[in-house]
Chain A
Amino acid sequence: GENVEQHPSTLSVQEGDSAVIKCTYSDSASNYFPWYKQELGKRPQLIIDIRSNVGEKKDQRIAVTLNKTAKHFSLHITETQPEDSAVYFCAITSNYQLIWGAGTKLIIKP
């Protein structure tokens, strides 16, 4: 079946620096690419998403870029803060369902 590869599995950055998480996928029919943030013990929450007719989308310190030709998309967090520490999941649509990446644990060092 379709799958999504997410890298890295763990990312440690200094507070104030930028963080980038990348996902690659195989289903060329996918047209919706969300990112979720999950804090410890809490539910995953949608933080940003992009559709395939758009190459980039920004929301304050968070941005997502999509390269449909190369089949990869990335989450960019700038000026990282302690509250950005969480696990981040990417996903793609395939046959009307979301296929999930394995997650990236983002650690913000003070």
Chain B
Amino acid sequence: EAQVTQNPRYLITVTGKKLTVTCSQNMNHEYMSWYRQDPGLGLRQIYYSMNVEVTDKGDVPEGYKVSRKEKRNFPLILESPSPNQTSLYFCASSFTGGGYTFGSGTRLTVV
């Protein structure tokens, strides 16, 4: 089944403790992206990647890192999480210029 797999689905962590949210797609998509979604603010892009080893900042990159060592994986790294990073996170992938397939989301709470 073609899909984007995010893990974990839910995560509660403490301020400053490094964490990684994984994202993997099995559709051979070139493009992958991370979004955060907060109430009333729609989808805001954090980082995106046009292909392996090519990543760029989105609208809200501060406090986040990404890597694209393989085509299928695009992990999101929070080196020192803070409470303002509490949010619902979505990974998405697509062929360049096409519609996105989204992962199921990761609900992160930083206390």
Known: A89-B43, A100-B43. A43 touches B103 (CB 8 A): yes
Known: A96-B50, A100-B42. A44 touches B102 (CB 8 A): yes
User: CB-defined interface of A68-103 with B at 8 Å, one 1/0 digit per residue?
Assistant: 000000000000000000000100010011101111
Give Cα A100 to B101, complex, Å: 14
Q: Which of B88-111 contact A (CB under 8 A)?
A: 90, 94, 96-105
What is the minimal beta-carbon distance from B33 to any residue of chain A, in angstroms? 8
Q: How many residues of A contact B (CB 8 A)?
A: 20
Give Cα A100 to B31, complex, Å: 16
Chain B interface: which size bin? 10 to 19
A44 touches B43 (CB 8 A): yes
What are the 5 A-B residue pairs with the smallest beta carbon separation, nearest first? A43-B102, A46-B99, A102-B42, A34-B99, A103-B42
Interface CB pairs A-B, < 8 A, 14: A31-B97, A32-B97, A36-B100, A41-B105, A42-B105, A43-B103, A43-B105, A44-B90, A93-B97, A98-B94, A98-B100, A101-B42, A102-B42, A103-B42
